[in-house]
Every structure is written in structure tokens, then in C-alpha cells.
Structure 1
């Protein structure tokens, strides 16, 4: 029986795939003005166009994450990357053939391709499940932190590279280049990505018990129970799944939201030039992503709940200061601390998914990753509404949203810690 791969290869495949999956959505925000001019879009229509990839990238995480529990992850992951490739390719073709004069009336089609493009972000929940099945519980924090942290580097790196590329090569050329980049990533994942041993044995024809026994001999500790529907239903019945959803809505949804919000904050409130605003946004995004890797190690050592608690205090205090600070140097320092807290919290929270929902990791990853990432779609309009009411100072006051969410999250983490004390059989 030819069993492929190991945990290192499994982690490499999912991390590369997730990193490349972000390629399809990197262009929409920075190039939105081009669509606005060509199609004469209202602010609301433009806002929907920018947000639509984040919408599909969050909602598709739920069913595709659950699908991992029946297939091991490679098939749903690859399908999501193909959908993203179709979306980005469709927009590119539309621009090549119709931009700018032929774009009138194409808004619906651009939205459709944008929705498909967001599929690349949805690979996150699939990768969480696929990675979780590869690693023993004591290494979950490191593995998931590495996957999420390095994969999440994409938005920050793209925010640095993209303005330069647009300046030298132009709008349409950028879409074509990013399409080729995503194509390369899809091919690489198809070659490198591999399912954990249990799913390979099952595919080879072994029974459930035989596959578990063989996979256990190779070091696999976590196994699924039931199909896609079972995984979603079983994980949804566990209250802690929804606690993790709320926590992740603030941390990862907040990460996506702030990556989109900071360019406006730096330029409108702190009066930074666009390139400078983009650079400081990239610093936040990249630092938060890198800290996620370190946060996974901390969660393995000290426990996910404790690390999440300390990180949430950091998010609370930094958001409170940012809400009222107008000092540039202080604000820069506080944003750095916010990135550290948010990155570590993201790793700690997903460390808890296989701990609290070990028999439906894929389903739980779908709920947590999907509804959590929805924060990236929901939070910017709320912060924008605050800015709209208060004027320039509102771009700072908008961080009050994270103060409120952090207070709710601290209460949730406190409950989780107390519950764990009464359930000593749960191990971190």
C-alpha cells in the first residue's frame, strides 16, 4: 500500500496553498477606483465590490471546512483554488476585452467573478482541518500557527508589492500577473498537498477501524466521525464552538478588517501619503501574521486559554488608546502592540479547536473560520459609519468597536477557563 507524505509535507502544502489563495483578492481594494470610473459606480456599489471576495471567503469556509472530515482536505482545497482561479481569470479577461469603454452594464458579472475570487481565502478552514489531522495534540499550536501565520503574510506583502507593480506595469497587467501567480500556486498545491494517513488508508479500501489503527501506528491522533453534515451538526451542538466563533470574529475578522481599514486611518486621520499609509498597513499585517507562528508555540507551552486571555487584554488596551490618540509616534507604537496581540490571539484560539471539538475538527474549523472571518466583511462598514458621523476624528473613534468586542471576549475566555477546571480530562 503506497502511503504518501508526512506531517511536514502536509503543512507545507496547506501553507503554500493558503498563501497563494490570497492572490485573487489582493487587487480589488487598491484598483477599485478603476472600476468606479469605468462603470460609474455609487459609493455603496463600490463598497460591495471591494467586500464581495471577503464575503465568499468567509461563508464558503463553513461547508468546505466540514468536507475535510470526509476527504482529508486535498479535494476541497484544490476545488476552492480552482474556483478562485476562474474568478480572477474571468475578471482579467473582462478587463482585457472590455476596459474601459465596454464595462458599462458589467457590474453584476464583475461581482460574480469577485465572489469566485474570494474562494482562495476560504482555503483557510480546509487547511486548518487538513493540518490538524496531520499533527498530534501537543504540536497543534505550532502547526496551526505556522499554517495561519505564514499563509496570512500574503495581504501584507501584496500591499507593498502591488503599488509598485501598478505604477510600473499598469492596471490590467497587474491582474494578468496575479492570475499567473495564482495558477502557479494551484499547481504547486496539487503536487505537494497530501492528506493525513487515515484518509489515505480509507481511500485505499481499509475499513474505518483498520484505517484508524494503521494511522495511529504512524502517529496520527485525531480522527473524524461522520460525514459533512454530521461534522457541521456535531460541531454546532458543542457550545464551545460558538464561543470560539465569537473570539475569532474579533481576532481574525478584525485582522482582515484592519488590513482594509488602516490605509484610510493613516491617510485620513494621520495625514500620511498613500505610499506611507500602505507601508504602515503592511507593517501591521505582516507583524500580526508572523506573531501567529510564535503564538502557536506559546499556546502549546502555556495553554490556548491563558495565551488568548493575555492577548485579548492587549487588544483591549491598544484599541482603547488608538480610539483617542492623535500622537503619531504613540499611535505607531500602539498599532505594533495591537498586531502582536491580534496575531498571538489568532494562534491561541485555533489551538483550541481540535482541543474542544476533536471529533469534528473540520466542521468546527468551518464554523469558526467562516463566521469568524465574516468580521472582515462586517466590521469596516461599522467603523466607516462612525467616521461618517463624527468626521475626521471618527477614523480614530472607530477602534471603540474593538474595545467592546474585547470586553465580550474576555468574559467568554473566563468562562472557558472555569469550565476547563471542571473538566480536567480536556488537555491542551
Structure 2
């Protein structure tokens, strides 16, 4: 049995540990933080996650999807909140297709508890990774509880230690390793819509709620306890920004003008705004995702993305799926497994980074735009008529296992067709006509 290390006990690390243990590996999981299983999960620290098909596939592989469904709430569409309180609903896909709201902390606890069922998996907490010697594959940790250095050697190391990965930092010191990071000029802050007194939700729990306002937006996802985790995405600097909205009076005035229907829902708005941290949004790209057969990057360590496609966790879980499929295909040929993993996943990591950045503009600007809503209706009708010729980009990303890189290319081609269709004179009157459907069909079939 080979001994492997997983550095980082987050979502991807815990799932990867389970998949490796199922294949007979002895897995040691190291985490710099204390044991999350003993912590109280509080709102205000982490964006709620949207679990979709790519994530469910990995959880199915691990045999734990039924357990995760117990802590997930289906969301069948977006509900847009206009300034005047008008609500507009847009389904995510076909009937009964949904993405699922899950608490990051709650999901992480669940995965770690499920990993406890495997005697092959050992967890080690308060262990900060300092460095790794790839010649001997020896990892050096600081045990922050005991204030001492610990060194251990492994056959392979799986780096799932996040956007500022210590393992990746060592890989960057070698030639031919490309790396970039870029911050969005916007950050985010979490707020809370508490439950009603009877524990029920104050607004529709089966929708992702969006308050699109051009340069910024707010979203809300339901929790099991009847509350909603609300996330304000807002410029870090500028006239309207986290830097300038810095007093209770300014916050109250801003929300009354910008998100008036949310105020009755958030009685602790001012307290949450000033007590919860303002967090940044970073995109990380690198290549390759492996260092020989010694180490491999997964999750945010390989491809941190902004959260606007709801695919950060799903992409990380898909890393686990792809690696497990390569293990199935190539057995103990580690050279092929590691190099193929990197070859396959790097283009997809770059693609989902681009898709996520593009989707921020769509969510904050376009979801309230009548042209955008009509475009989605046309796409939906055409896709229903010709499912083999057209799958909307959102469905390719969220409800399929089409590679992200292929979805990005197809989406760009479809956008060109729809840009042309939307220029049709009288499109609002004849959007669902046979003429429009035929025109799209001609263009779609030339691809």
C-alpha cells in the first residue's frame, strides 16, 4: 500500500482522501487550522456554495452523495429583485434541474466525518506546511500547538491547501512553472437574513436571490435553519465602496436607496456589516499542475476562481473525479497519471476562470436587462426544440460534464448567433416564431 499525503483538509482535500482510501492508499491529511469538526459553524466567514452536477458526480464516486443531499437545498432558478421590489424569475435549466445551496463549513464537517469511516485516513491538525523537498518528498510542518517542527516523507503529495498553497509555492521555484494571480477590484461581505420565529424562511428558499445593481450586486442562498446567507459584492475603493460606506448612517442610507426590500429582512444588518470581514476575490492560474510524480495540485491550489459561476467547489471536485478516472485507467503508471491529469485539467481550469469572471458582469448588469431575459427565453425555446443542436452555456457548465474548455468555445459561438438574432427588427414580437427558430437552426447546424 502506498503512503500519500493530502496537504489541506478543506472540501477538496477531504473528498480526495476518501477517494484515495477507497483505492487502498494510506492517506495522511494535514491541516493548518484546528479540527473543524469541533468548531461551531458561523455565518459571515464564507460564501455559501452551489453544488451542481460536476460536484455530485465526484460525491457519487465516493459513495457519499446521499449523505450530502441531507444538508443541501435545491435552487431551481434565479429570483431577481429590482429596486422597486419587482421580482423576476428565471429557471436555471429544464424542469426539475437545480443547483444546491450548501454551507461551506457544514459540508466540510460532513466530509471529514465521513472520512472517519476509513481507517486508512489519518487527520493531523494545527500543522502548517513550511516547505517540501521533492528529492525525498519530505514535507516539513510546524506543529503550531506544540511549537515544533515535524518532517514526514511520502510516495506522493496532493496539494489541496488553497489559493495561497505552500506546496505550489515550492513548485514555483522550479524552471518552466507558470503562475499568475489577479485580484478583482470588488470584494465581498457576508450578511444574514434570519429565519422567521417558527424557523421558516422569509423568502423563497428554492431560488438563488439576486439584487443586480450594475456596478455591484447582492445575492442570498438558503440555509437549513431557515436563514439565508447574504453576500454583498461591492467595489473595494471608490465613491460607492467598502472604503467609503463606513458609518452606520451611510450603510443605512445606501441600503434604503439600493436594496430597500432587503431591509425588513435583515434586522442585524448594521451589526453584521461592521462585524463581518471584508474579503477579497482572487483568480489563480498555473501550469503544470504536477511536479513529476511527487506532487499534484488540486482545487484552489491549482485554479482559484471568483465565485460567480458557482463552480469553484465543483471544479475542485471534478479534479478528484478526473484523477480517480486516471487511476482506474492507468493503474500504477504514475508518470502517465500525473502528466495526463495536468494536461487535461489546466485548459479547463483556465476556462472556468474566464467563465466565472464573465458571469460576474452578467449577474450584476444583465439579469435585470429585458434584452438578457428575452435572449434566455429564445435560447430555452430553441434548446427545447433542438436539444441536440443547442445547450445553453449555463447548462453546459452546470448540468453537464462537457469540459469547461469546450463549453467556453461553444458558448462563444452561441453568443455570436444570439447577438445577431437579437438585432432582428421586431424581435420582441416574434421571438418565438418559426422564422426565428429556423434562422437559429441554420446557423447552429453550420458549426
Q: TM-score, normalised by structure 2?
A: 0.25
Larger radius of gyration, structure 1 or 2? 2
Could you say which structure has the higher strand fraction? 2
Q: Which has the higher contact order (CA 8 A, sep 6+)?
A: 1
If each structure's helix is expressed as a fraction of its own residues, which one has the higher value?
Answer: 1
